[in-house]
Amino acid sequence: MSLVGLDLGTSFIKAGVLDMETLQVNHVQRIPFPDPLPVLPASYREFDPAKIMSAVHQLLKEIAPFAGDCEGIIMCTQMHGVVFTTADGEARSNLTTWQDQRVLDQHPSGSGTYFDVMRAHLTTDELRQLGNELRAGLPAGLFFWMAEQGKLPARDIVPASLADFVIANLCHCRPSTEITNAMAHGLLDLDMMDWHTDIIQKLGLSGLALPEILPHGAVAGWLDWNGRRVPCYTPVGDYQCSIVGALLQDDELSLNISTGSQVSMLKSSAEFGNFQTRPFFDGRFSNTVTHIPAGRALNALLKLFSELAVSQGVELADTWAYITRAAAQVASPKLQTNLAFYNSAIGDEGSFAHLREDEMTIGHVFRAAFQSMAENYFMFANRLSPEKNWSRLVFSGGLVQKIDLLRQLICDQFNMEFRLSPVQEDTLLGLMTLGLAFTGRTSSVSEATARLTEAYNVGMVV
């Protein structure tokens, strides 16, 4: 028996057959995530939901011949996206993603940005109750921006996460959510594990028809699959799913590095500090720092260095192969770079320093960028645990698994043993782990993790 796993990522939408007997991820299919809508203000980041649904239908059609007697659909999603939908899943807005920064536009009151005005409404303890999660790019900021402009939708329109919208649209049902995607909206009370009604009222958002929060593994909708009704389980955030897929243990430090990146540790109870506190599975939590510059920032550099070729109609081939070779041939450069080319955990103004003619090469620039990333991860790991209470590093995410030099620089920075996620498709393995628990094959996600840790003979590399 198998589940179909669907990962609605920032760069790609992926599907795979999750064989629940052999515990293998098979027949992985992927297509690029649709391009953002053009001709929008620079701070906006919106996508056509019809194109997203078209891509999802295409993937499900391509994976169906390999899925046999599929017993259900399980999803994870890029976090912090929102689509306003009707009660039967029809889109009433574009998808706005975590890359949208309109909340940083100036507020007409002259009191700073919309985010500054929103932040001023809340106390330090209320921010703690939100898990220290309030920042630009969350739906809460978009909702506040809309409320200030009188643009909040009617009460019968539901603000759904990307995956919750996809399930509602596929199954023609009212959008619901579970705790990881509810947290991603930026309005979850960690003390009560429910919507924070006091903050919602303070921010003028009482008119929002926020979705019902369902338990992990609940059935969010039923899909017609080759004439049979199969369950679609509550989708989860791709951040949590990737950590599960890395088979992270409590004494390990997770470095998930892809389009964005995060440093995380698992905890048995909620802890608060100069980091984000996020709900996990089995009643546990993760301490994390997110939005650390990674693939998105590196792609900005690549775009800069490719501009002349593109303007001349020259198609560059194997650019990343050249970049990684050139960077590996460079000794530690004097050149330094700050990758904060967009609002991130290290600020919103990138820079280059100590530029010299002999180091103005692709190899030197990207070697400096990789070194900067390694230093960032070490800095934020020490924020999570000044006592360095981790036994080894665990790498997941496509970027760090593909670039050996980046991995090596990080290990040199930490002077620590590491292991890789057991498979490159860590989110799909995470969906298999969750599937074991959601279908009752194991009694908990922790038990499912232990089962896959044994099945994949998870070890470490020095």
CATH of the domain at 342: 3.30.420.40
H/E run at residue 103: none
Q: What b/e readout covers 378-403, taking b as 16+ CB neighbours within 10 angstroms?
A: bebbeebeeeeebebbbbbbbbbbeb
What is the rounded CA–CA span in Å between residue 395 and residue 263?
10
Q: Output the CA torsion sign for 115, 119, 121, 126.
A: positive
Residue 401, pLDDT score? 86
Residue 458 in any domain: the answer is no
Residue 277 in any domain: the answer is yes
Residues 94 and 221 in one domain: yes
Residues 171 and 22 in one domain: yes
Beta-sheet pairing, 188-189 with 194-195: antiparallel
Residues 204 and 87 in one domain: yes
**Phi and psi dihedrals of 44, rounded to 5?**
-90, 150
The angle formed by the CA atoms of residues 161, 294 and 95, to the nearest 5 degrees, is 20
The angle formed by the CA atoms of residues 26, 32 and 35, to the nearest 5 degrees, is 160
The angle formed by the CA atoms of residues 178, 129 and 113, to the nearest 5 degrees, is 95
Residues 102 and 220 in one domain: yes
Residue 135, pLDDT score? 87
Which residue has 């909206």 as its token pair? 185
Q: Which of 385, 401, 420 is the last residue of a domain?
A: 420
Q: Output the CA torsion sign for 80, 81, 86, 88.
A: negative
What is the rounded CA–CA span in Å between residue 429 and residue 242?
8
What is the rounded CA–CA span in Å between residue 68 and residue 16?
12
Q: Which of 181, 203, 238 is the last residue of a domain?
A: 238
Residues 171 and 273 in one domain: no
Beta-sheet pairing, 194-195 with 252-257: unpaired
Residues 403 and 264 in one domain: yes
- Structural domain harbouring 365: 248-420
Q: What is the DSSP letter of 37?
A: P
Residue 344, pLDDT score? 87
Residues 294 and 414 in one domain: yes
Residue 456 in any domain: the answer is no
One-letter identity of residue 222:
W
What is the rounded CA–CA span in Å between residue 80 and residue 177?
13
Residue 156, pLDDT score? 87
Q: Which of 238, 268, 292 is the last residue of a domain?
A: 238
Residues 262 and 403 in one domain: yes
Q: What is the domain count for the chain?
A: 2
Among the listed residues 456, 367, 457, 365, the one whose alpha carbon sits nearest the alpha carbon of residue 404 = 367
Tell me if residue 296 falls in helix, strand or coil. Answer: helix
Residue 243 in any domain: the answer is no
The structure tokens listed for 5 are: 């796993």
H/E run at residue 100: none
In order along its 462 residues, the chain shows pLDDT tens digits of 899 999 999 889 999 999 999 999 999 999 999 999 998 999 999 999 999 999 999 999 999 999 988 999 999 999 999 999 999 999 999 999 998 999 999 999 999 999 999 999 999 999 999 998 888 889 999 999 999 999 999 888 999 999 999 999 999 999 999 999 999 999 999 999 999 999 999 999 998 999 999 999 999 999 999 889 999 999 999 989 999 999 999 899 999 998 889 999 999 999 999 999 999 999 999 999 998 999 999 999 999 999 999 999 998 888 999 999 999 999 889 999 999 998 888 988 999 999 999 999 999 999 999 999 999 999 999 999 999 999 999 998 888 888 999 999 999 999 998 999 888 899 999 999 999 999 999 999 999 999 999 999 886 554
Residue 252 in any domain: the answer is yes
Which residue has 């391009």 as its token pair? 35
Residue 69, pLDDT score? 86
Residues 161 and 48 in one domain: yes
Residues 26 and 97 in one domain: yes
Residue 415 · residue 5 · CB < 8 Å: no
Residues 178 and 258 in one domain: no
DSSP conformation letters of 259-288: SEEEEEEEESS---BSBEEEE-STT-EEEE
What is the rounded CA–CA span in Å between residue 96 and residue 40?
12
Residue 431 in any domain: the answer is no
The structure tokens listed for 116 are: 């500054």
3-state helix, strand, coil split of the chain in percent (to 5) is 35, 25, 40
Among the listed residues 20, 4, 67, the one whose alpha carbon sits nearest the alpha carbon of residue 442 = 20
Residue 416 in any domain: the answer is yes
Residue 362 in any domain: the answer is yes
Q: What b/e readout covers 196-230, taking b as 16+ CB neighbours within 10 angstroms?
A: beebbeebbbeebbbbebbebbebbbbbebeeeeb
Residues 263 and 230 in one domain: no
